[in-house]
Structure 1
């Protein structure tokens, strides 16, 4: 993979905002429950993340009672 590949827009959408709203939870509360910084969660929520650690994904899914497929959608090219 070359540096040029990193410039392409990704096709993954994060649904963290919807999951938080459905649970009546704030990003700050999720941060406290997961130990993941609010800034990192915000980057993920706003589809600006370039990568997500499995430990972060696991913590978020545990806190929200969801599966990774509930959190992300990959759109067709």
Structure 2
């Protein structure tokens, strides 16, 4: 694998991941990628977690939407 990977997001979009050295992402496997936004279509990877091969991406997308719903913000995030 090279220094980048283009991946499908849970909402059906595509994003480019700038990979860490020695990162191996298997085709057909799902990953949770943590990183820094480099631009609107690129994330610089800090680390990733393999989620296996059986994942309901609609459920993942619905969960992300709920996490960012303003009605639940104070329940999920603390004010620093």
**Shorter-chain TM-score tier:** under 0.3
Which structure exhibits the higher relative contact order, with contacts defined as CA atoms closer than 8 Å and separated by 6 or more residues? 1
The answer to which structure has the higher helix fraction is 1
Structure showing greater Rg = 2
